[in-house]
Structure 1
């Protein structure tokens, strides 16, 4: 046995790290390092007993001390088929029928090593629900890059932000808890307008609208003009936007699959672009007419 006390600790650390990965335990790098430090004296004592052959004559006493808060709590819900494990503030949920070697389970184990992760949910072998609480904007942006998420695909609901990404063939539904407070106004500004006062009509409107889940982009053009892009999921949602902006339905025009119209809100002129909204007019023209979205003065859609 090497006389360097660090050698054994390094070996114990390597064994614990391997076991953590193989068993998909919810342990981060710091947890494994701490376990190695705590366990090494006990392992050294056992080795000393074995080498000396004197365990019966000179018993070696040792103990591993761990804070109760660091002990993993595991609950198996057989009725709903879910196993929940909580360790060091991170909650891990996985279906009882999910293979621990499945892509989603393996990815969840890897990502839990990051301190930002507070929960993982693995309902299938190829889908992962991931909740994080990054402390800085830079940390949030790191997650977006890691999961191949475009910033324009992020939506804000209350204080949380949501997006869907992909990693190693696994679909990842990302939730950033309390991330909205970290972000500056989630809008773009044209060159030369970095000094726009967000207390202006355009800035106030943009601040309020960025929290709508179907908003995909906002561009402040000056203190009184703003462009908003939305992805409404139904004719009713699209009509809601027209109503909010006081836009004339007969003024709606089309650019490819998108619908375009100009309205106003709170003293700001708003250019509204509805991605893929043209399909609503063509798929159910009768309903669109009934709702007043198509009138005799509406422009041709051909």
Structure 2
């Protein structure tokens, strides 16, 4: 009994890459990608709702580490870490918000894969390679920024409580506190992606490492200005630490850009050391004129052929012309 192997046709990725996929097929592929991405987010949302209490317990650690956050429970006679709740549905809404954040993180492999699978066919092979590298660097940088922000919140809360006019026992409203912590985590995580922008400009040949170094005064000033405006922490600790981290990451990106320029040989071009206004010198490349080759004598030209006598004028046109 003979077995025949069925030859598979090109995949959707190959069809999209070589341009053989029609517009309707692109739209259908986008619909399928959005469907699977939505399923990933919904699955992550369910997981986030289940572990939302544990996540909130982790978020409240900076607040509960302060002595001013503990209140005496008259029923049990023990100290408890308490928040203020102003609205009836604030606790449920807060739990749904935490579940959504966790769902986006848990479902990230699914929706990011479908997003990448839809965009990647339109990129060249080397562009896809660099995209993998930058994504692999971006994820640890974001996590590092989030962890640093979580540590900053503790010191920021301590400064705010000590510098306040009320003093003593102080309770915070739960939704505003959670918004404060998540904003700090998101801000630090996004700010840590700043060196990737500089590296993308350098790797694509837009700017060189020498040009990036010349921007150090502007970068330091903008880092402190951005930290002062964007940081929800009114104290100087979080702002200074964020600006200092952005400055350190900037100089690290400049170092990587310098290595990349050296690897590609940038800055060693012929006219790299010349000013743009410098006049280029004219080289004197005169060639002495020697004896010319002998010239042959003129060749005779044939006599012209006789020209035919023109036809009479009335015979060259018909009745219409």
Normalising by the residue count of structure 2, what TM-score does the alignment of the two structures yield?
Answer: 0.25
Structure ranking higher on relative contact order (CA contacts 8 Å, 6+ apart): 2
Decide which structure has the larger Cα Rg and report it: 2
Normalising by the residue count of structure 1, what TM-score does the alignment of the two structures yield?
Answer: 0.26
> In proportion to residue count, which structure has more strand?
1
